[in-house]
Chains A and B, each alone.
Chain A
Amino acid sequence: MDMHRQTLTELCAGLDKGDFTSVELTQTLLDRVAAQDEKLNAFITVTSTEALAAAASADKARAAGNIGALNGLPIVHKDIFCTEGIKTTCGSKMLDNFISPYNATVVQKMADAGAVILGKSNMDEFAMGSSNETSFFGPVRNPWNLECSPGGSSGGSAASVAARLAPAATGTDTGGSIRQPAALTGTVGLKPTYGRVSRYGMIAFASSLDQAGMITRSAEDAARMLGVMAGFDERDSTSIDQAVPDYLAGIGESIKGLRVGVVRQHSDEGLEERTGARAKDAIAVLESMGATTVEVDLPNIDLSVPTYYVVAPAECSSNLSRFDGVRFGHRAENAEDLLDLYCRSRGEGFGDEVKRRIMTGAYVLSAGYYDAYYIKAQQVRQLIADDFKKAFADVDLIAGPTAPSPAFKLGDKVDDPIQMYLNDIYTIGANLAGLPAMSVPCGFVDDMPVGLHLVGPHFGEEMLLRCGHQYQQETDWHIACPEAFK
C-alpha cells in the first residue's frame, strides 16, 4: 500500500520490517505536502530540511538498535507549540516573525521518541475560533469539500491528517479545538484529562482549559501518540504526577458491559437531525457489541457555552498581555510614545476575533463586573464539574454527537460569533470539567463526515481509547478517504 495511506501503526510496522526507511517515508510525505497543500492551506511552515535530517538520524538510530516509540514517524505540530529554531506563529500576525528559542515539552518528548516534524499546521489565531477562518495565514480548507471549513482551531492538523499529508498531528483543545475539527474531517481527535499532558511551551489561550492532544486516523494511533506525549512535567505546575499507562495494552479488550451514558439534557435544538442520528447509530453499534446505555443527567450543561465565554476570554485577556511589541513579536513602526507602541503593536498584530475576546475578558474581570461574571462563571463551572462527577457514578463514559452539524461552508458563520460559538456546544463541558474526551468518525451526512463524541472520567483515556478502537473494529468510517486525496 502507498505509504501515505497507512496509519501511524502501519507505518511503524513498515519501518520495523524495513519495508521503507524514514527518509523515504518523509520524502514521500513532503512531496505530497508540496503537491497538495496549495489546495488546503493546512501548513503555515513546512520544515523539509529539518525533517529529512531528522529522518536520516532516525534511520541511523534504528540501525543502531535505538528505536523510540515514534522512531522515524513523520508528524505535524500545530503552530501553537514552540519549536526551537522554527517559526512559531500561533496563527497570528503578532508572531509572524517569532522563532522560538526552545521546544515545548510535547515537542521535545516526541523528538526524543524519534518523531520527524514535517511542519507546523495552520490554526485559528491563538486557537480562538471554530472554523480556522481567524488565522492570519488564511483559512484551511476541508479535504472532503474544499468549499467547507475543516473546523477549528486545530483545522490544519485535522486537514493534513484527513488528506493523508501526515499520519498524525498534534493539536490543542480549549473548548473543542481538537474534537470538532476531527469530527468535521473524519479523523480521530483526543483531548486528554487536564494535566495529563504538559502545557509548557504551548502558547496559552485559556490556561485552565487548554490541553494538548492529537489528531490521528485511528484510536490505536491516538493511543500510540498519547503514550509519548503524556506525563508529569515539573515545568508545568498544573500537570499531574501520575504514572502513564501503556495505552496500547488494553485497547484490544472487549467493551462488553461498558455503561454508556446518554445525556438527557442535550437539547436537539440546533442539532442537525441526521448528524444526531449518526451518533445514535454509533451508540447502537456499541450496544450491539455488549455495551449498555443509561440516561444521565447533566442539569447545568446548557450553561457550558456562556460559562466558557466568560472564563476563556478572562484568561486570554491576561495571557495575551505579554504580546506588547517590546520583547518579541510584531512591533509597530515609529511609535510616538509607549502607549502608541502598545496600542498600535497590538492593534496591528491581533485579528478581530482575538480582539473581541480580549475585550470581553477585560470586561468580565473589571471592577464592578468581576463578581457578576467571572465569579459566577466559576461557580457554574463547578456545578457542571459536579454534574459530570455524579453522572460518572452510574456510567463509564458519556456519548453523543461531537458537533451539531457536519462541516459548514467557509464564510457562513464568520459574521455571527454566537452561531460560531455554538459549534462547540457538546465539547465545551469536558474542558470546563477537565475531562478526557474523544471524537471518532461515525458516518456521513451529505458526503461530509460527522463524529461520535465520547467523554470519560478523569484519567479515563484508556477506556475511551479501548471503546474507540473496538468501535473501529466494527466500522470502517475512519478508513474512508476524501476522493481528491487518495
Chain B
Amino acid sequence: MSVAWEVVIGLEIHAQLATKSKIFSGSPTAYGADPNTQANLVDLGYPGVLPVLNKEVVRMATLFGLAVSATVARRSVFARKNYFYPDLPKGYQISQLELPIVEHGEMHIIGVDGMEKRIGITRAHLEEDAGKSIHEGLDASSGIDLNRAGTPLLEIVSEPDLRSAKDAVTYMKKIHTIVHYLGISDGNMQEGSFRCDANVSVRPMGQKELGTRAELKNLNSFRYIEKAINIEVERQIDLIEDGGTVVQETRLYDSDKDETRSMRSKEEANDYRYFPDPDLLPVEISNEYIEAIRATMPELPDAKQARFIDEYELKSDDAAILTASRMLADFYEGVVKATDATAQVAANWVIGDLGGALNRDGLGISDSKISSDELAGLVDRIHDDTISGKIAKQVFEAMWDGEGSADDVIESKGLKQITDSGAIELVVDKVIADNLGQVAEYKAGKDKLIGFFVGKVMQETKGQANPGQVNQMLRDKLK
C-alpha cells in the first residue's frame, strides 16, 4: 500500500544583473561577443590585479531586497570560494557567504490549488559568474571563453517552501517578472541570464523532518524546471518505495533523455575554504542610501494589477495578462491615455489583436510594429464611428505591415464609414427596388429578412456604411 508523498522544493535562482560593466572590472558585459574579447587583466586573474566593486550591483541588490520585503544588510562581506577550474581564472569565485546583502524576504504566489502561499526568501547575495569551457570544434583540446567571467549575479535562495513543480515554476516566473520590473536583469533564459538550481526532496505526508535532498543543477527554462523536478520526485519516490534511500548529491537534468543523473555526491563535494576577501572592503550601506533607493522603486506587478482592476475596471484575467511585463503594462497605459475609448476596449485590442500579431510573428512588446499612440489612433476611429470594428481589423493589419497610421490607411484605402444619410438612402432605395419579392415576404411578417437587406446594403457600400444607421433606415422604409 503506498503512502502519500509530500514534495519539498527550494530554488536557488541566479539572475544576471543588467550592469554595463562587470562586477569587479570595467569590462563590458554584452552577450555574444567573440571569445575573450570582453575580458581584461582583472577578469583573466593576472598577477597583481585587484577587484574593484561596481557600485551599481549594490543598488540593484538593494532594490531587489526592498521589492521582496527583505532586510538589506547595512554591512555585507565578500568572501572567496576557492576551487580549481579552467573557467575560474583566479582559482576562487568572489561571492558572499556569512553576510549576504539581502536576507529574510518573502514572496506570495497563487499555488496550483488556487490558494495564496507565502514563499520565504532566505537570502540573496552578490557574486561573480565564471567563464565557460568550449569543447565543440576543437578536436581533442578544450577552449576557454572568459567573456562571462566576472559578470554580476544575484543568487536568490528560497526557503524549502514550495510543494510542487508547478508552484516552483510560478515562483520562479514571479521572481523573473520582478527583476524585470526593477530593471535589474534582462532575464534572458536562452543567454543564461536567468537560471536556477532546485533542491528537491520528498517525505511522507505529515512528516515534520525533511527528506534527503538532491540538487538539480543549471535549469534554464521554465519547461525544464517543471519536467526535471517531476522526474526527480518520481525517481526519489520509486527509490524509497523500492526500499532504497536518497543520497545527498548534485544531479544534472538531461533534457534529451528526460532523466536526472548524478554529478557528484556529498562526499565528493569540494571544501571551498571560504574566507573574507581581503582585497575588498565590507559593503556598508546607510539608512539614507536605502531610503533613496526605495524612492526609486517602481510599481510592482501585484500592485499594478490591483490598480488596473480598480482604476480601469478591467477583468482580473486581463489585468494579470497586461501586468505580466512592465513594458506591456506601460504600453497598455500609453494606449489608455491617448484614446477616448474605454480602458476595457483598449485592453481588448492590446491583448487580442496586438497580442495575436506579436505571437504570430514571434515578437516581444518592445518589438511591436505599432506604437501605443498609433494603436490609440485606431481605437479612436472605431470610437468616433469613422470605421466599424470589422474594418478596424483590416486597418490594424495594414498598420502592422507598415502602411502608416490608422488615418493614413483609412484614407488611402477609402475605408471611411459612410454616415451621410442621403448617400445611404440612395443605396437602401436601390436594394428595396431590386428585391421586391423579399420586401413582400418581410412585410408579410418574415422579420429575419432585415439581415438580408442590411447585408445587401453593406455589400453595395463595400462595408463602409454604418450598419446601425442602415438597419434603422431599412426598418423605417419597409414599415
Contacts and interface: CB of A to CB of B under 8 A. Distances in A.
Interface of A: 81-82, 88, 90, 95, 98, 100-102, 104, 199-204, 206-208, 234-238, 314-315, 317-318, 320-324, 326-329, 338, 342, 362, 365-367, 370, 374
B41 interface: yes
Most buried by A among B41, B46, B90, B273: B273
Most buried by A among B45, B48, B92: B48
B92 A321 contact: yes
B263 interface: no
Contact of B45 (A82, A101, A322): A322
A230 B236 CA distance: 62
A223 B43 CA distance: 35
B273 A199 contact: no
Interface string B57-97: 00000000000000000000000101010100111100000
8 contacts: A102-B46, A200-B49, A201-B48, A315-B278, A317-B82, A320-B91, A321-B90, A362-B273
Closest 5 CB pairs of A and B: A321-B91, A365-B273, A208-B278, A207-B278, A201-B48
Given A203-B47, A236-B50, A237-B50, A374 B89 contact: no
A235 B47 contact: no
Nearest to B146: A327
Given A322-B45, A322-B91, A365-B275, A237 B82 contact: no
A15 B48 CA distance: 34
A237 B281 contact: yes
A327 B48 contact: no
B52 A318 contact: no
A318 B279 contact: no
A43 B140 CA distance: 42
Contact of A104 (B45, B48, B91): B48
A369 B271 CA distance: 12
Contact of B82 (A102, A199, A238, A321): A321
A342 B41 contact: no
Given A236-B50, A321-B90, A365 B45 contact: no
Interface in B14-43: 41
Interface residues of B, number: 28
Contacts of B51: 237
Nearest to A311: B278
A204 B90 CA distance: 12
A324 B82 CA distance: 13
Most buried by A among B45, B46, B52, B280: B46
A199 B275 contact: no
A236 B51 CA distance: 7
A329 B45 CA distance: 12
A50 to B, nearest CB: 19
Contacts of B273: 317-318, 362, 365-367, 370
A207 B91 contact: no
Given A318-B80, A370-B275, A374-B275, A100 B52 contact: no
B48 A82 contact: yes
A326 B144 contact: yes
Interface string B257-290: 0000000000000010111001111000000000
B282 to A, nearest CB: 11
Contacts of A101: 41, 46
A400 B280 CA distance: 33
Most buried by A among B89, B92, B278: B278
B92 A95 contact: no
Contact of B53 (A82, A88, A204, A237): A237
Contacts of B278: 206-208, 238, 315
A328 B47 contact: yes
Contacts of A102: 41, 46
A429 to B, nearest CB: 18
Given A95-B47, A326-B144, A370-B273, 11 more contacts: A104-B48, A204-B279, A315-B275, A318-B82, A318-B92, A318-B273, A321-B92, A324-B84, A324-B91, A327-B44, A327-B45
